[in-house]
Amino acid sequence: MKLFDAIAGLFGKGSIMSDKSSPAPSSQTGQPAPAQPAADAWILPEKHREQLAKLFESLVNPVNIHLFTRPGPSDPVGEFAVSFCRDLSRLSDKIILHREELGAQEARTQGVDFSPTLLLEPQRYSIRYLGAPLAEEGRSFIETILMISLRDSGLSKESRELLSVLDSGRLIKVFVSPTCPYCPSQVLNAFRAAVERPKLIEAWCVDISQARELAELHGVSSVPHTVINDQLTMMGLEPEQRFVAELATLRDAASLSATLRRRPGETSQADVVILGAGPAGLTAGIYAGRAGLKAVILEKNVLGGQVSLTPVVENYPGFSKIAGVALMDVTAAQARRYCEIVNEEPVAYEAGPAGLTVKTATLEIRARALLIATGATWKKLDVPGESEFFGHGVNYCATCDGYLYKGRAVAVVGGGNTALTDALYLKNLGVSVTVIHRRDRFRAEQYLQDSVARENIPLVMQAQVEAIVGDKAVKAVRVKESKTGKSREIAVDGVFVAIGETANTEPALALGCELTAGGDIKVDEGMRTTIPRVYAAGDVTGGGGTRQIVTAVGQGAVAAMSIFEDLSREKK
């Protein structure tokens, strides 16, 4: 089992490291902070302590954690960090906690002026957290402890080679939010680089809900947001190879893509390559592996796809209510028992009489069949200001970026399940939300409409967004009312667009697969496309008209069994 799977259940939404249940505000950030236990009490539940203690049995070298907090009782977030780190140190004698005060000599020596700040093994590495590692970042914190203890970055051979020639310093700041499922992987990209080239590379994980001033200084409006040497900015999660290449060269991926694609890579064989690790791809991996097929899943982003960004799933059989990321964590853990999951981006596809070939920056995989389960991405409004202010007030992921707007005003554009779920989620965070919809009624499920009504969320119905306006960041959204034909501006600090999805059909187009009139991949009842040995499943096919998790799972299973049957017939 991968390390990420082992710790996935410990730090997701609703876990002990979530800050939702905390009433006391921090004087430094204004955000709620977890209630403090007695000095000798455990903050980690017994179940989590047992799991972590077992995990920590693999520790080899000591890991010194230097925790800097403001003296006195006015720093509840800092005290929570103390309690959490103290618990970890009680679980293993290899974890050594050093409490430090802001303003003291050690703080001045290390250049620490924010509470809480955590430095991990600072005599050897330059790794720090600005803010307590809450919720999702609890994962990166635990994995970093293990990485440091093993003195092994875990980077691929190609990434190590790229960093080996680095001859000048790098300072990486990765801005995150506690509920962003993409963020831990980007933080680990940075921390692995810092472990690989100690002292030459310095890496920070900055929680935007705690270190707000620094986030505003860098213009952070979506996460993960990575800044290197105050020179290169990365938006979103990047595959390891791309991240390291950009880190080494201080050039963006567009200028590096040709170089990366020409890199010779290892060649491997598989029965089926699955593109995408969402519900359809992971399910197909499980079924293919159980059928005796060698399957490889390629995923460039976080495992679970868009489901991992869903705060709560309430319509998946067997779970009355479960966080989307938790559901995908257990699915991914099960998939890994039957197939290999590679976190790399496919860059080329070839189909021929002898089979199919998929290339990444470092691999060439030859397979007998290909399953496209690449899902769908958010549709855009295509109005003035949308692209200009992306990352500066225009957002598509409330789970990722909602923390930036606590105490501020936003508009959610859309009328379906996603739009109303986003509105309710943002309202719960303390965001002032207005929903804008072009029709006179919502298409969302009735229970969501009822919830929006109970929360008294303002609605602007029968209004079309004409433009998103601002200067350096979003200031307002301009709408045209259908009834009157008049335009007006609604003052907001951000806009969350939730108007539907577009299928990610690039691999299908590259291979010549036929699409439907709606732009989805055309498949038969067995999930076969119009190209032999190429299959598709999940949202990329339209999801059976519903684009639900259960339909994606069902299609993934059908596709895997069709592949098994077709390949079996070929052998005969």
Looking at residue 275, its pLDDT comes to: 97
Fold classification of 3-261 is: Glutaredoxin (3.40.30)
Cβ(177)–Cβ(134) under 8 Å?
A: no
* Distance, CA of 128 to CA of 212 (rounded, Å): 16
Which amino acid is present at 170? R
Nearest to 537 by CA among 514, 551, 546: 551
**CATH code, residues 266-377+502-571:** 3.50.50.60
Q: Parse the chain into domains and list their residue ranges.
A: 3-261, 266-377+502-571, 394-497
Q: What is the structure's pLDDT at 420? A: 96
* pLDDT value of position 76: 82
For residue range 282-340, what is the model confidence (pLDDT) as tens digits? Answer: 999 999 999 999 999 999 887 888 888 777 788 899 988 888 888 998 999 899 999 99
How far lies 567's CA from each of 182, 273, 290, 292, 460, in Å?
36, 13, 15, 11, 54
Q: What is the mean pLDDT of each run of 10 residues along the chain (572 residues)?
A: 42 43 36 51 90 95 96 77 94 96 93 96 97 89 96 91 93 92 90 95 95 90 91 86 89 54 64 96 96 93 82 84 85 92 88 87 90 93 94 87 90 95 94 97 95 97 96 94 95 95 93 94 97 95 84 96 92 60
Active site (catalytic) residues: 397, 400-401
pLDDT, residue 73, reads 62
CATH code for residues 394-497: 3.50.50.60
CA-angle at 96, arms to 95 and 97, nearest 5°: 120
49 in Cβ contact with 87 (< 8 Å): yes
- Whether 394-497 and 3-261 are alike in CATH topology: the answer is no
